[in-house]
Amino acid sequence: MDYAIKTSSLIKRFVDFTAVDNLNLQVQKGEIYGLLGSNGAGKTTTIKILSGLLVPTSGEAYVLGNKIPDKKIASAIGYMCLKKLHFILV
């Protein structure tokens, strides 16, 4: 089967904290999929790995058939981080 996203035993650790622990995921092309979970569940870390912004500690991830990390992914997907923006008016 041809998947848009596929992960196998994906793990991401930061020193003494495991943000993503053994994620196995298969999303078919054309399928709408959401990541839901509480704060610290690993949603943002997973998206950053899938978009090539972070390298997994172990396991494999593929996006549109390309093994992550791969610079080609950036031209095929979009990712916008929503954080509070602060403006200073001068």
| Domains of the chain, earliest start first | 3-75 (3.40.50.300)
| pLDDT tier for residue 82 given thresholds of 50, 70 and 90 | low
How high is the pLDDT of residue 85? 54
Amino acid at site 18: T
pLDDT, the chain, mean: 86
The Cα–Cα gap between 73 and 84 comes to 26
Higher pLDDT, 88 or 46: 46
How high is the pLDDT of residue 69? 85
The Cα–Cα gap between 53 and 75 comes to 13
Alpha-carbon distance values, 12 to 1, 7, 84, 88 (Å): 26, 12, 25, 36
Residue 29 has pLDDT above 70, yes or no: yes
How high is the pLDDT of residue 22? 96
The sheet carrying 58-63 orders its strands as 17-28, 3-14, 58-63, 66-67
How high is the pLDDT of residue 71? 77
| Averaged pLDDT for residues 48-71 | 90
Residue 25 has pLDDT above 90, yes or no: yes
Amino acid at site 7: T
